[in-house]
Amino acid sequence: AQSVTQLGSHVSVSEGALVLLRCNYSSSVPPYLFWYVQYPNQGLQLLLKYTSAATLVKGINGFEAEFKKSETSFHLTKPSAHMSDAAEYFCAVSGPGPSHKLIFGSGTRLLVRP
């Protein structure tokens, strides 16, 4: 069985500040992990994915995430927030390989203050 917990339904940061969105997972098989972003009135867009290669994964728009097996975490970070980063962010887990379905967390809404 697999599950994802995203801590904090809302995170608010000032423009230029560090962004940290937390994700913890549970998986009975080696996990693949994903971060997706959803802008208002749009579908989800892949930010980055971890597939058992490098534990530090770089994605689009300056975001990165680090897979920490000992902590069962896959937190998303960005050194400096931009107003355009305001969106809903979803963490997801699946089993290894293309045949496994994704399990999504409940999402974290990122607010960026001027």
Partner 1 sequence: EADIYQTPRYLVIGTGKKITLECSQTMGHDKMYWYQQDPGMELHLIHYSYGVNSTEKGDLSSESTVSRIRTEHFPLTLESARPSHTSQYLCASSDSGAGANVLTFGAGSRLTVL
Contacting range for partner 1; rule: CB under 8 A; set: 17-25, 58-66, 68-76, 98-106: 98-106
Q: Is 12 in the site for partner 1 (CB under 8 A)?
A: no
Nearer to partner 1, 12 or 45 (CB): 45
Nearer to partner 1, 17 or 34 (CB): 34
Q: Is 107 in the site for partner 1 (CB under 8 A)?
A: yes
Q: Is 25 in the site for partner 1 (CB under 8 A)?
A: no
Backbone phi and psi for residue 94, each to the nearest 5 degrees, phi listed first = -145, 170
Q: Is 89 in the site for partner 1 (CB under 8 A)?
A: no
CA 56, 17, 103, 46 torsion: positive or negative?
negative
Residues forming the site for partner 1 (CB under 8 A): 4, 9, 32, 34, 36, 41-46, 49, 51, 90, 94, 97-102, 104-107
